[in-house]
Amino acid sequence: MTFKSISISSFSFNTSSQFAVSVSDIVQNAVLYCSVVAQPVTAKEIIENKDPLVDLASSNPLIGLSTQDNVSFLQRLSISDSDLENLLNRFKALSSFDQKYAEKSYEGNSKVRLGVFERLLKMLTRLPGHIGIAYFEGYRPLSKQKEYFDQKFIEIFHQELANTQRTLSTLNEETLDHLLEMTYNITTTHVSPFIDNIPTHSTGAAIDIHLYDTRTRQLLDIGQFDVIFGKNEEQQAFASHLSVEKQNNRVMLFQAAAESGFAIYGNEWWHLSYGDKVWAFVYKQPSAHYGYAGSNEPIVNLTKKDYLELMKIQLKASFTA
């Protein structure tokens, strides 16, 4: 099922805010995000790559900026140092709510571009004062992206193979190659490919977030989070059959995010980005701000043909082991 086929008639958007973004704009942008997320980064020229990565896990992510840059940052947001401190108290790692996310954490996952941090702070000013942001992943090196892609690829391959009601050993090479190609294409709808593409997380421009209540220190009920732990029937932004509570919480998240300048990924309700190629496409900007935030890695030169051949060998080995 594609995002475009989902009905959003059950969702009710608040339009009373002076900053409110129309429901049609939010939906249209979420659909646009889906259409371009796996396209090569060359679809949008990168005009700059200067914003540093800042660490959301730091007591003050602005540490390291010059005094002038720090002052300029606060002036753009129209907030004081004390305002910043209060807002920072509403950021928490998702792992502090659920230990399984700590097990999936890695060095640098709490880092985002300065422009992303600025818009997360804007989000907090638009959310109710008792609502905080629980962050999971920001910057992701290509090696970690490949790890996620491999996991999802193998999961989907087993699902698709089961649908054929055949075993791997009974498939001829042509049928197997077709199944691998189909698996690759489906996988790209869940995890951005690392081949011929710079995934948005790898630019430091994306952040996966949840919302929580600062009074109860409990996560809000928004629906199942992420796809790295298996199939997620609630991953799409406007998934059907959501409870009223989940719908309302998603609407609150989407409106605050859109009003703060983020692009919303229609296939993953938790995924926001700013300044990357997809954001540029969604908001009709001539260029993206950010390219790859890491150093060159050997897997950058891996072709899709080589990858599928490697996965074929790995899958055959696993079935005969």
Q: What tens digit of pLDDT does each residue of 88-127 get?
A: 999 999 999 998 888 888 889 999 999 999 999 999 999 9
Rg (CA), the chain: 20
What average pLDDT does this structure show over 220-245? 87
Instruction: Give 146-205 pLDDT, tens digit per residue.
Output: 998 999 999 999 999 999 988 998 999 999 999 999 999 999 888 889 888 888 999 999
Longest dimension (CA), the chain: 67
What is this structure's pTM? 0.85
Which CATH number among 3.40.140, 3.30.1380, 1.10.3470, 3.30.70 corresponds to the domain 56-139+205-290? Answer: 3.30.1380
Domain residue ranges in the chain: 56-139+205-290, 145-189+303-320
What pLDDT does 240 receive? 85
pLDDT of residue 47 exceeding 70: no
Instruction: Give 214-230 pLDDT, tens digit per residue.
Output: 999 999 999 988 877 77
Q: How does strand 287-288 pair with strand 45-46?
A: parallel
